[in-house]
Structure 1
Amino acid sequence: MKNIFVQGAISPDQIAKSIAAHSSKTAIGAHELFLGQIRADVVDGKSVAAIEYTAYEQMALEKMDTIREAMFAKYKLICMHVYHSLGTVPTGQLCLFVFVSSKHRADAQQACHEIVEQIKKELPIWGKELFEDDTHQWKKNN
C-alpha cells in the first residue's frame, strides 16, 4: 500500500521531480495532472488563511489502494501518483497532486478526473478552515 500523505503543502519541486522522473518512460504518450490549491475564500465575512487537514490515515490508504486498483483495471494507465497534504496548508499553496500517465490522452484525462472525484467523495480526509481572525470551522467538500 502506497502512502499518499505529505506533511504540509506539496512543493512545486516535488511536482517537477515527479514529472521529470517520467521522461525515461518512453511508452508514455500522455500525462494528466490535477493540482488542488487552497483558496482564500470568504465565509460569513471571514477570510480563510489556511486549511488544516486530518485523516483516518489507515482507512484512507486502504480506500486509495482500492481506487488505484480500479483505475488500472478500467483505464490503460502506465503510472499513477497521488499525494494529499496533512496538517496546515496556507492559502495559495498546494494540497492535492494527482498525476497519471498512459499511452494515449483519453485514458489519462478520464482517469485523472475520476480519481479526483473519488478522493473527494470517498477518502476519510477532513479540512478545518482556519480564518484570519483565529476562528475555525470544518470545511464542506464541494
Structure 2
Amino acid sequence: MSTHKKKKVFIEGPISPDFIAESIAHHSVKTNIGAHSIFLGQVRADQIDGQKVKAIEYTTYRELAEDKFHEIREAAFEKFELVCMHIYHSLGVVPCGEMCLFVFTSSKHRKEAQDACNYIVERVKKEVAVWGKEIFENDSHTWKQNTV
C-alpha cells in the first residue's frame, strides 16, 4: 500500500532555474536534513546525421507515467532513508540548454541522498514512458532513443 501522496511531476516547457532555486530554498526550514543531492537533465544540441538538435518535444500518457513515477518514489522511500524527495519532468518543447528533468533527494546523510538520486534517475530513464522528439534547426524531427 502506498504511504505517500501522489505528487505532481510534469511541468509544461523547461524547468526554470527559479523553480529549482525555490525548491531548494524551501528546505532550509527542515533542520533534520543534513544532505541534498540534485540531478538536472539538460537538453543537448546533438549532431545527428549532419543536423543539429535545437529542442526536444516531450510527450507522454500522463496518467500511466504519473503512476510509474509514484511507484519509483515509493520504492526509493522504502529503499533509502530519505527525509524528502522531488521529481519533475518537462512536457512540451524544451530548447537546447534548458532543463528537462529535476530530481532532488534529501536525507540526514549524503550517501543516502546521493544513492537515492542515482537510483531514481536510472529508473526514470529505463521505466517511465516519456518520449522525446528531437527537433532540428531545419524543423525536421526524429524520435529520440534513450541511452543509459
TM-score after normalising by structure 2: 0.95
Secondary structure of residue in 1 paired with 2:139: coil
Aligned residue number for residue 46 of structure 1: 51
Aligned residue number for residue 139 of structure 2: 134
- Structure 1 segments of 4+ aligned residues over 2 angstroms from their partners: none
AA in 1 matched with 2:18? D
1:12 to 7, 17, 32: 17
User: Percent of pairs identical after alignment?
Assistant: 61
RMSD: 0.5
1:29 to 29, 34, 51: 34
Is 1:82 the counterpart of 2:87? The answer is yes
Aligned equivalents of 2:139, 2:117: Cα separation in 1: 35
Structure 1 stretches lacking a partner, 5+ long: none
AA in 2 matched with 1:130? I
AA in 2 matched with 1:91? C
Aligned length: 142
Is 1:103 the counterpart of 2:108? The answer is yes
TM-score after normalising by structure 1: 0.99
The structural deviation recorded for 1:56 is: 1.1
Is 1:119 the counterpart of 2:132? The answer is no
Aligned equivalents of 1:90, 1:136: Cα separation in 2: 14
Aligned equivalents of 1:86, 1:31: Cα separation in 2: 25
The structural deviation recorded for 1:50 is: 0.1
The structural deviation recorded for 1:3 is: 1.5
Aligned equivalents of 1:3, 1:56: Cα separation in 2: 14
